[in-house]
Amino acid sequence: MTEAKRASMILDKNFRVGDVDDRLYGAFIEHLGRAIYGGIYEPGHAAADAKGFRQDVLGLVKDLKVPVVRYPGGNFVSGYNWEDGIGPRENRPSRLELAWRSIETNEFGLNEFMDWVDAANTEAVMAVNLGSRGIDGARNIVEYCNHPKGTYWSDLRKKHGYATPHNINLWCLGNEMDGSWQIGHKTAEEYGRIACEAGKVMRMVDPSIELVVCGSSNSKMHTFPEWEAVVLEHTYDLVDYISLHTYFGNQDNDTANFLAQSVGMDDFINTVISVCDYVKAKKRSNKTINLSFDEWNVWYHSHEATAQVEPWTTAPPILEDVYTFEDALVVGCMLISLLKRADRVKIACLAQLVNVIAPIMTRTGGDAWRQTIYYPYLHASLYGRGYVLQPVIESPVYDSKDFTDVPILEAVSVVNEEDDELTVFAVNRDLEAPLRFECRLGNFPNYEVVEHITMTHTDVKAHNTETNPYNVVPKSEGNAAVDGDMLEALLAPLSWNVIRLAKTKK
Q: Which residues bind ligand AHR (CB under 6 A)?
A: 30, 73-75, 175-176, 217, 295, 351-352
3-state secondary structure 231-255: HHHHHCCCCCEEEEEEEECCCCCCH
**Sign of the C-alpha dihedral computed for residues 320, 177, 202 and 109 taken in this order:** negative
Task: List the one residue out of 305, 315, 325 whose CA is nearest residue 457.
Answer: 325
Please provide the DSSP assignment of 281-297 as one string.
HHTT-S---EEEEEEEE
For residues 73 and 352, give the distance between their C-alpha atoms in angstroms, rounded to a whole number: 10
41 - beta bridge partners? Answer: 37, 53
Strands 387-389, 16-19: pairing kind:
antiparallel
* Alpha helix positions (H), 206-242: 226-235
**Sign of the C-alpha dihedral computed for residues 138, 144, 148 and 150 taken in this order:** positive
For residues 190 and 132, give the distance between their C-alpha atoms in angstroms, rounded to a whole number: 13
Q: Is 304 a catalytic residue?
A: no
Residue closer to ligand AHR (CB basis): 127 or 329: 127
Least CB distance to ligand AHR at residue 352 (A): 6
For residues 84 and 110, give the distance between their C-alpha atoms in angstroms, rounded to a whole number: 9
Residue closer to ligand AHR (CB basis): 52 or 179: 179
Least CB distance to ligand AHR at residue 133 (A): 17
Residues 435, 9 contacting (CB under 8 angstroms): no
Residue closer to ligand AHR (CB basis): 30 or 97: 30
Least CB distance to ligand AHR at residue 275 (A): 20
| Catalytic residue chosen out of the listed positions 104, 143, 228, 295 | 295
Least CB distance to ligand AHR at residue 319 (A): 6
| Catalytic residue chosen out of the listed positions 176, 320, 410, 421 | 176
Task: List the one residue out of 501, 418, 385, 282 whose CA is nearest residue 65.
Answer: 385
For residues 122 and 338, give the distance between their C-alpha atoms in angstroms, rounded to a whole number: 20
Q: Is 295 a catalytic residue?
A: yes
Task: List the one residue out of 444, 335, 352 whose CA is nearest residue 100.
Answer: 352
Which amino acid appears at position 123 of this protein? Answer: E
Q: What SS3 state is found at 461?
A: coil
Least CB distance to ligand AHR at residue 76 (A): 6
Residue closer to ligand AHR (CB basis): 97 or 343: 97
Residue closer to ligand AHR (CB basis): 224 or 444: 224
In total, the chain counts a number of residues equal to 506
For residues 64 and 374, give the distance between their C-alpha atoms in angstroms, rounded to a whole number: 8
Residue closer to ligand AHR (CB basis): 26 or 74: 74
Residue closer to ligand AHR (CB basis): 31 or 500: 31
**Sign of the C-alpha dihedral computed for residues 16, 345, 328 and 246 taken in this order:** negative
Least CB distance to ligand AHR at residue 80 (A): 11
Task: List the one residue out of 370, 351, 350 whose CA is nearest residue 362.
Answer: 370
Least CB distance to ligand AHR at residue 73 (A): 5
Which amino acid appears at position 71 of this protein? Answer: Y
Residue closer to ligand AHR (CB basis): 143 or 176: 176
Catalytic residues: 176, 295
